[in-house]
Amino acid sequence: MRRLYWVAIGFFMATADFAATSSKNFCFENAGLKAKQKVTFNLANNQISNGKFITENYEDDTKKITGFSGSKTGTVLIVTFGKKAPYTLPPKTDVIIWKLEKNTLKIKTYGKNYETGKYSAYDMPMTVCEEATEK
């Protein structure tokens, strides 16, 4: 009986260690009016690594890639860019917070509402990349 107990504990420890080190790659995109944004990152142990925020401008075919890292708590991602964020943050933003939902990444940004003509903060919805769903 005692041996079975230690075998069960050993199995639990081995599987817990495996689950703790598993990682997942994410890819989200948004086709905006002026540019297409794409966000890719790896999530392992609630830490974001290899993050890339890619902006492709429709008018001049330029592509800008900005790296980022961060952490995850529940559905909240706290993101840090090396320098400046590659999109307009809402006024007085000290911490960049994104929300990770089932098939959507919501990024808080600031811009013009073309219906009202006024500027305001809003959630930019990013959907799972097409190439990620084709597999």
State whether CATH 2.30.30 applies to domain 24-133: no
**What is the DSSP-derived secondary structure letter of residue 135?**
-
The token pair that represents 66 in the structure block = 């900005």
Residue with tokens 């320098």: 83
The CA distance from 97 to 41, in Å, is: 15
The amino acid that residue 83 corresponds to is K
Average pLDDT over residues 51-73: 95
Q: What is the DSSP string of 87-108?
A: SPPPTT--SEEEEE-SSEEEEE
pLDDT at position 19 over 60: no
Enumerate the domain spans of the chain. 24-133
Four-residue CA torsion sign, 118, 119, 123, 126: positive
pLDDT at position 13 over 70: no
Query: Which tens digits make up the pLDDT trace of 87-124?
Result: 999 999 999 999 999 899 999 999 988 888 899 999 99
Confidence class for position 5, pLDDT limits 50, 70, 90:
very low
pLDDT at position 36 over 50: yes
Q: What is the pLDDT of residue 131?
A: 75
User: Which percentage of the chain shows pLDDT scores above 70?
Assistant: 81
Q: What is the pLDDT of residue 90?
A: 96
Query: Which tens digits make up the pLDDT trace of 42-51?
Result: 999 999 999 9
Given a contact cutoff of 8 angstroms between Cβ atoms, the answer to whether 58 and 37 are in contact is no
pLDDT at position 39 over 70: yes
Nearest Cα to Cα of residue 51 among 33, 74, 20, 28? 28
